[in-house]
Amino acid sequence: MCGIVGLFLKNPAMRVDLGKHLSVMLVGMTERGPDSAGIAVYHRPTGANQCKLTLFHADPHYHWRQVGGGLGEGLGCEVDIEIKANHAVVTVAADEAAARRWLKENHPELRIMGYGHLMEVYKDMGLPAEVVDKYGIRSMEGSHAIGHTRMATESAVTTEHSHPFTAAPDMCLVHNGSLSNHNNLRKWLRRRGHEFETDNDSEVAARYFAHRLGEGASLPEALEAGLADLDGFYTFTMGTLDGFAVLRDGIACKPAVLAETDDWVAMASEFRSLANLPGVEDATIWEPKPAVVYTWSLQ
């Protein structure tokens, strides 16, 4: 069992409170996922010639500054590093692929949680409320964010197995459910040049959608393709640079509730995570239909 939440702000005036609202939503899903929690937040855009990476190392005293210095020397560019518990957000005045390549070659012990111009990813073990406090999620502003609370049933409770999963710049996916054809899909994606970091079925889904988007599919087109190619149970919520999407499989065993006002769109596994959003009493509230693609994008 897991919990999923997502909040996509249509009204820019609300952006200052993104983290505050998402935190309440995430903590509301504690009973569905007390083992670990993760969020992806879209905020603080980098400059046009910059990118940012969210990195993780289990050691809270990891030598982040030295890594930052090495990265700057290696790529011959400016590097800014912000440490948050056992995560670091590294802003690099270089190409994102080059930065990832350098990190993989020189610091394979680091895990790259997310990368792009806008998205930062924080995930950790513990109760959602603890994770929210540890990374200061409540005070984060931004345009959209998605979160996941995990109750592991088939693989270990580790940061690596926590959601969201990232597979392309500024793209992330959270999943409630289980895929039955992930081994074949993983092989299929490997043959097309994708590398995997975990044995998690949700990572396969993230890389599948990244593959479709990389082929030039729009967000709705990528999700439509997923309905044909992904077999199993799923409620997905996905974030991209300027988009937000929800998809349930045709059987629709895994729960989902959507709510929308003029100011925001919110998704959660259960209504109780939406119950405290401002204006929810006048929101349109519905259960997303099985095998129907729901997407929103920033204008």
Partner 1 sequence: MITFDLAEASVRDLNQRLHDLPADTNERAWRVLNPKGAHALAAGLERPIEVLIEGHVGYYCAGMNKEATVVIDGHCGVGVAENMMSGEVRVKGNASQSAGASAHGGLLVIEGDASARCGISMKGVDIVVGGSVGHMSGFMAQTGTLVVCGDAGQSLGDSIYEAKIYVQGKVESLGADCVEKKIGEHHLAKLSRLLTRAGIKADPRNFRRYGSARKLYNFHIDHADAY
Q: Which two tokens stand for residue 194?
A: 């994708």
Q: How many CB atoms sit inside 10 A of residue 295's CB?
A: 18
Q: How many helices (H) and strands (E) does the chain have?
A: 7, 16
227 binds partner 1 (CB under 8 A): no
Backbone φ and ψ of 221, nearest 5°: -65, -40
1 binds partner 1 (CB under 8 A): no
Tell me the closest approach of the beta carbon of residue 257 to partner 1, in angstroms: 8
Closest CA to 62 of 101, 90, 99, 29: 90
Tell me the closest approach of the beta carbon of residue 273 to partner 1, in angstroms: 8
| 2 tagged catalytic | yes
Residues 238-257 within binding reach of partner 1 (CB under 8 A): 252, 255
Total of residues contacting partner 1 (CB under 8 A): 14
Q: Which two tokens stand for residue 82?
A: 């912000």
Q: Where is 66: in which H helix or E strand?
A: helix 64-75
Q: How many CB atoms sit inside 10 A of residue 234's CB?
A: 24
Q: Is 177 helix (H, G, I), strand (E, B) or coil?
A: strand
Residues 255-294 within binding reach of partner 1 (CB under 8 A): 255, 270-276, 285-287, 289-290
Q: Which two tokens stand for residue 221?
A: 């087109």
Tell me the closest approach of the beta carbon of residue 144 to partner 1, in angstroms: 22
- Among residues 32 and 87, whose Cβ is nearest to partner 1? 32
Residues 10-49 within binding reach of partner 1 (CB under 8 A): none
Which of 2, 51, 172, 253 is flagged as catalytic? 2
Q: Which two tokens stand for residue 146?
A: 């998605």
Tell me the closest approach of the beta carbon of residue 138 to partner 1, in angstroms: 20
Q: Which residues bind partner 1 (CB under 8 A)?
A: 252, 255, 270-276, 285-287, 289-290
Q: Where in the sequence numbering do the catalytic residues fall? A: 2
